[in-house]
Amino acid sequence: MPKTEEEIAAEAAATAAPATKTIEEQLAASQAEAEKWKSLSRKNEERATANADKALKLDEIEAANQSEQEKLLARAEAAESKLAEIDAKSTAATLREEIAKEKGFEDRKIPATALRGLTREELESHADEILALLPAPPEAPSADGQGGAGTRIGDGDMSADDIVAAATAR
């Protein structure tokens, strides 16, 4: 049989207020719930503080390691730079010596270090300028009339006493 409107309303009222608690019970339950959340909040704050301390220590360690790594990296870069500089100087010196030899600087007693330039072309051009500015050394006089090397002094030539006397007379 279908239910009447009164029966439906009575059921709704019964399910709407099933064993309602008193205000004191509700207040006690709310306070217990608040205490539970306060306790959880305090635990989370303690954990957060501990984590923050650990994070600071980790940051300090990483900073120390980072600075050590940066120091080592800087030293490595400086060493590589110095090695490249030494290599460049060595290469330049070798090139200067080579060009000085090709241009005959040894004959004129010009040191290879007098050459300036960074490339082969610049060094060769400077070598040509130096050679144009400095006159060629005079050729040594011939040995004609000087006598034969390793032969005895003959008659009519100066004797050993004459040579000594001429050398001391100066």
CA distance 93 to 91: 5
Backbone angles phi, psi at 17, to 5 degrees: -125, 70
The pLDDT tens digits for 20-73 are 678 988 899 999 999 999 999 999 999 999 999 999 999 888 878 878 888 888
DSSP 19-72: SPPPHHHHHHHHHHHHHHHHHHHHHHHHHHHHHHHHHHHHHHHHHHHHHHHHHH
The pLDDT tens digits for 70-92 are 888 889 999 999 999 999 999 98
The pLDDT tens digits for 125-154 are 999 998 888 877 777 666 565 655 566 655
Q: Is the pTM of this model over 0.85?
A: no
